[in-house]
Structure 1
Amino acid sequence: MNTTILALDIGERKIGIARANNIAKIAEPLTTLINDEAFPEKLEDIISKENAGLIVVGLPRGLEGQDTQQTKYVKDFMDGIDLAIPFRFQDEALTSVKAEERLSKNSKSYTKHDIDSNAASIILEDYLLEN
């Protein structure tokens, strides 16, 4: 039984990844990977290792909810990779801002990689709350 849900925060250079157990429904940052030609294979490895059954993909929108160039990029990106499990889009409005605020509350320093994986975690938290 696949009990893990993964989330992706897709950027043109990096992709933040988070995970949550579908039973406990607690999202946590997992990693940030480089967005390159090796990404689909690395993602399949994570899917297998985490025993994932679903991927939630952050979908960027404009301030008024309209599609943007980044919306098209994310949709095209997901159409271009062949996954063994289904994926769902989730609004990612302000997740990077929220992630940076969350990280800045901790006294330790953080990197852009931390922001990306935490943004994916927030996308997943939002999905879990709505579903």
Structure 2
Amino acid sequence: MTQREYILGIDYGAQRVGVAVAHEVARLPRPLQTLKNDGSLMQQLEVLVNQESVARIVVGVPRNMDGSSSEQSSACEAFANELGGRVDVPVQTFDETLSSVEAEAALKRIGKPYSKPDIDAMAASLILERYITEGANA
């Protein structure tokens, strides 16, 4: 069996799901891809968990600026619970407030053309970066 060494970060959305990965030791997140949120999403994520040797998954959950939950927060938490029942690695949630705004700003700074799926994958990478620096050992 392959040793699982990576953390998978997920930016969940109703239409698209951004995915990023970071090595547990090197801790350098990188955008991986953006998946369509359709009937094959869970199966695709199960494949990624095995393909990328994932040890744990972090699902971003947005909060309102006052820290309260929103409809999207509930959708992300429900998704994380469902995913946790489908994979054999721990799934946890982490605050992702404004990650998509920050992702778009980062892509603008690069100066190359980008699309909404690029923003989603970059947001997943930023969620992982925050998790690693702020919450992985909390």
Query: Which bracket does the TM-score occupy, shorter chain normalised?
Result: over 0.9
Structure 2 match to 1:65: 67
Letter in 1 for 2:54: A
Moved more, 37-46 or 72-81: 72-81
2:19/2:125 contact within 8 Å kept = yes
Q: How many pairs are equivalent?
A: 131
- SS of aligned partner of 1:80: helix
Q: Partner residue of 1:118?
A: 122
Following TM superposition, by how much is the alpha carbon of 1:80 offset from its aligned partner in structure 2, in angstroms? 2.5
- Aligned identity (percent) is 37
Whole-angstrom distance in 1 between the partners of 2:92 and 2:130: 12
The answer for the alignment partner of 1:109 in structure 2 is: 113
4+ residue segments displaced more than 6 Å: none
Q: TM-score, normalised by structure 1?
A: 0.97
Matches for 1:1-131 after TM superposition, within 5 Å: 1-81=3-83, 82-130=86-134, 131=136
Per-residue deviation, 1:75: 1.2
Cα deviation digits, residues 7-26 of structure 1 (max 9, x gap):
00000000000000011000
**Alpha-carbon distance in structure 2 between the residues aligned to 1:13 and 1:70:** 12
Aligned residue type for 1:4:
Y
User: Which residues of structure 2 form unaligned runs of 5+?
Assistant: none
RMSD of aligned Cα (Å): 0.8
SS in structure 2 of the partner of residue 24 of structure 1: coil
- Scaled by the length of structure 2, the TM-score of the pair is 0.92
